[in-house]
Amino acid sequence: MSKTFVGSGRVVHALHDVSFQVMPGEFVTIIGASGSGKSTLFNLCVGLLEPDEGSIIIDGNRPPSRLGMLGYMPQRDLLLPWRSVLDNVILPQDIKGVPRKESRQKAMDMVKRFGLEGFEHDYPSALSGGMRQRAALLRTWLTGCDTLLLDEPFGALDALTRKELQDWLLGVWQEFGRTVVFITHDVEEAAYLADRVIVLGARPGTVKRELVVDLPRPRRLSMLAEPGFGELVRTLLADLGVDGSVYL
Ligand SMILES: Nc1ncnc2c1ncn2[C@@H]1O[C@H](COP(=O)(O)OP(=O)(O)O)[C@@H](O)[C@H]1O
Ligand SMILES: [Mg+2]
């Protein structure tokens, strides 16, 4: 698909002829420089925007409205400061009119697995950055959608917390078998998590490469030191126009 934004005297060709597929149960990462159209791509997939050309096919169909078909965690966590953690994670069910008792119970069943036990009744301001992101992920998770689109969920975290959450997310993904599409601008993160990395080139955003990551699962931190992993990272950096010599 292609997408151009026109407004206030500016024309931005955000995406041009972008095409790829995601298979059930896959973990696909999308990497690209800032402004390469990654968030736009997700907004198109979930139905908040319509492409100028092309279409989005879900389970073999082009549904008239895609809203609500894919789980979406936007780039900012958007937790409401005046709602408790529990009431934040059930917000989509509240909007749909699901009885609170029912949605709270469903949320409580997953709270421990998401590392939020004991914080259910706190406000988001009491949470660490990592916990905020897990709360936002739980909210997306509880929509029940098979496919989750996560826009730079760990982008604002410190390196240590980020590594912890990467392994935690892979654990949850393997345990429950959902499909994940994950945007990042961190090359190591893209390679470490994925079955397949899609590289977006900038202005306009196009698919520059699809790279299969054939490292065994479960992934281990020790894999970061393996030559195969270094090779993947160098390939991705070169695609993104970063001078590889610095990293060799
Ligand atoms: N609603 C919009 N109106 C106008 N321009 C937009 C809009 N959304 C995104 N853009 C522009 O499209 C380009 C891609 O943006 P975005 O998808 O947010 O990139 P990324 O997520 O890769 O950083 C940017 O130049 C951005 O300014
Ligand atoms: Mg973005």
Ranges of each domain in the chain: 1-70+148-153+181-248
Query: How far is residue 73's CA from residue 18's CA, in Å, rounded to a whole number?
Result: 21
pLDDT over 70 percentage in the chain: 98
Q: Between helices 159-176 and 129-141, what is the axis angle to 10°?
A: 20
Average pLDDT along the chain: 93
Q: What is the DSSP letter of 129?
A: H
HSE toward the beta carbon, residue 94, CA cutoff 13 A:
10
Q: How far is the CA of 94 from the centre of ligand 2 (A)?
A: 27
What is the whole-number distance in angstroms between the Cα of residue 108 and the centre of ligand 2?
Answer: 31
Per-residue pLDDT reduced to its tens digit, 162-191: 999 999 999 999 999 999 999 998 999 999
Ligand nearest to the CA of 40: 1
Identity of the residue numbered 186: D
What is the reported pLDDT for 161? Answer: 94
What is the rounded (10 degree) CA torsion for 125, 130, 135, 137? 140
Quote the pTM value.
Answer: 0.94
User: CA 218, CA 227: separation in Å to the nearest integer?
Assistant: 18
DSSP string, 59-128: TTB--S--TTTSEEE-SS----TTS-HHHHHTHHHHHHT--HHHHHHHHHHHHTTTT-TT-TTS-GGGS-
Q: At residue 246, does pLDDT exceed 50?
A: no
Is residue 25's pLDDT more than 50? Answer: yes
E strands present in the chain: 3-7, 10-15, 27-32, 71-73, 147-151, 179-184, 196-201, 206-212
Q: Which residues line ligand 1 (CB under 6 A)?
A: 5, 7, 12, 14, 32, 34-40
- Residue 230, pLDDT > 90, answer yes
Query: What's the chain's Rg over C-alpha atoms?
Result: 19
Centre of ligand 1 to C-alpha 227, Å, is: 36
CA dist 80 and 137 (Å) reads 14
Nearest CA to 88 among 71, 103, 68? 103
Ligand at shortest distance from the CA of 30? 1
Nearest-CA neighbor of 177 among 138, 213, 147? 147
Per-residue confidence at 122, pLDDT binned at 50, 70, 90?
very high
pLDDT at 248 > cutoff 50: no
Looking at residue 183, the DSSP 8-state letter turns out to be: E
- Looking at CATH, the fold of the domain delimited by 1-70+148-153+181-248 is given as Rossmann fold (3.40.50)
Task: Return the pLDDT at 243.
Answer: 58
pLDDT at 247: 43
Q: Average pLDDT in the 117-130 region?
A: 95
pLDDT of 203 reads: 85
Tell me which residues have their CB within 5 A of the ion that is ligand 2. Answer: 38-39
pLDDT digits (tens, 9 = 90+) for 57-101: 999 999 999 999 999 999 887 899 999 999 999 999 999 999 999
Q: Which of 6, 4, 12 is nearest to 51 (CA)?
A: 4
> pLDDT digits over 98-116, tens only?
999 999 999 999 999 999 9
